[in-house]
Amino acid sequence: MINILVGLIKLAIKWAPKKIVLRVANYKLKGIADVKDYAVDLDAKTAYAHIHLYGEVESIEVWLENFGIIIDEEAYKFILQQARSNKPWLNNSFAFILGKAWKIPVIPQLTPFMPLAYALLKLDIPALNVTGYIEGSR
Residues 44-60: tens digit of each pLDDT: 999 999 999 999 999 99
**Residue 12 pLDDT:** 92
Assign 56 to helix, strand or coil.
coil
User: Is the CB of residue 22 less than 8 Å from the CB of residue 35?
Assistant: yes
Residues 94-138: tens digit of each pLDDT: 999 999 999 999 999 999 999 999 999 998 755 555 444 434 433
Average pLDDT over residues 67-83: 91
**Residue 98 pLDDT:** 95
- What is the reported pTM? 0.81
* Sheet order of strands, 101-103 included: 33-41, 46-53, 60-72, 75-85, 101-103
